[in-house]
């Protein structure tokens, strides 16, 4: 990979640092998105060069296809059962390592995979680090049946939490409703800022028809933030004091 843009060089630096955490024999979840693409390439290089024996699960069809093209063997998460490590990208990362994910529409499989992992490591460029989550649209995956009713429930929830937002958009691709790997739709919430992520997360999860949303709270253990010069900053999750 030569002639990378500054942003891609940062993503690649983060990806390399994350792949350096992989050890022979590990069970690893592979994330989705442009940063994860660098990670899959770097992992494939290590597997080829070092003969690492890994068990790998992918968080999307796109990642599965890329990994297989690069010679990696992908298994079903259920056949592996539990993962040592998942490496994934993010759309926003706050100081507590809470995340917004789902810019690529894969947050359902990504959350299932991260939740089945001892450790979730996020890789990103510096533009993803924020003080407060919410400037990036928050994806909410809903099943097609009754989706407008589900959307009305979401709207009422936002009002009850005093979360003003621009119109809630149904994600589109190529002039049609975007369809996730699970055959669902995505509502993108433009909230600007989310002062109480836990309240919103709990509220969304309680709505029938909402399959999963893109708030990943308390799931990320380490964020590796690459920079265009190849450096990497490590952000660890602050200790939670009971
Ligand atoms: C896909 C995701 C991605 O990890 C997230 O959108 C970041 O993508 P990118 O690395 O392309 O910025 O959550 O559902």
Cα of 207 from ligand 1 centre, angstroms = 25
Substitution candidate for ligand 1 out of 103, 122, 219 with most atoms within 8 A of CB: 103
167 alpha carbon, distance to own chain's centre = 24
CA of 147 to the centre of ligand 1 (A): 24
| Per-position DSSP letters for 150-187, written without gaps between them | HHHHHHHHHHHTT---SPPEEPEETTEE---TTS-EEE
What confidence score (pLDDT) does residue 2 get? 67
Confidence of residue 166 (pLDDT cuts 50, 70, 90): confident
CATH code, residues 6-129+218-230: 3.40.50.1360
Ligand 1 atom nearest to CA at 36: 10
User: Would you say residue 240 has pLDDT above 70?
Assistant: no
Give ranges for CATH 3.30.70.260 in the chain.
Answer: 138-209
**How would CATH label the architecture of 138-209?**
2-Layer Sandwich (3.30)
Taking the CA of residue 123 as reference, the ligand 1 atom at the shortest distance is 10
**pLDDT (mean) for 176-195:** 95
Q: Give the residue range(s) of CATH 3.40.50.1360 domains in the chain.
A: 6-129+218-230
Residue 75 has pLDDT above 60, yes or no: yes
- In whole angstroms, give the CA distance from residue 4 to residue 9: 5
Number of the ligand 1 atom closest to the C-alpha atom of 103: 6
Instruction: Confirm whether pTM is higher than 0.85.
Output: yes
50 given a catalytic annotation:
no
């Amino acid at each position: 990979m030569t002639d990378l843009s500054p942003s891609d060089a940062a993503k690649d630096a983060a990806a390399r640092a994350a792949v350096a955490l992989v050890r022979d024999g590990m069970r690893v979840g592979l994330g989705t998105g442009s940063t994860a693409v660098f990670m899959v390439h770097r992992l494939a290089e290590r597997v080829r060069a070092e003969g690492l024996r890994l068990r790998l699960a992918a968080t999307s069809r796109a990642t599965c296809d890329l990994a297989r093209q690069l010679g990696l063997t992908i298994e079903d998460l259920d056949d592996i059962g539990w993962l040592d490590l998942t490496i994934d990208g993010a759309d926003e990362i706050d100081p507590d390592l809470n995340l917004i994910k789902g810019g690529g529409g894969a947050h359902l499989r990504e959350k299932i995979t991260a939740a089945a992992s001892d450790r979730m490591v996020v890789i990103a460029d510096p533009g993803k680090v924020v003080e407060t989550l919410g400037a990036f649209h928050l994806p909410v995956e809903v099943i097609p049946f009754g989706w407008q009713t589900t959307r009305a429930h979401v709207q009422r929830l936002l009002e009850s939490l005093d979360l003003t937002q621009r119109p809630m958009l149904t994600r589109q691709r190529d002039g049609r409703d975007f369809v996730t790997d699970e055959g669902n739709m995505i509502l993108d919430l433009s909230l600007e800022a989310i002062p109480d992520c836990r309240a919103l997360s709990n509220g969304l999860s309680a709505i029938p028809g909402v399959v999963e949303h893109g708030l990943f709270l308390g799931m990320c253990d380490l964020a590796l933030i690459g920079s265009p010069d190849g450096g990497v900053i490590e952000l660890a999750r602050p200790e939670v004091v009971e």
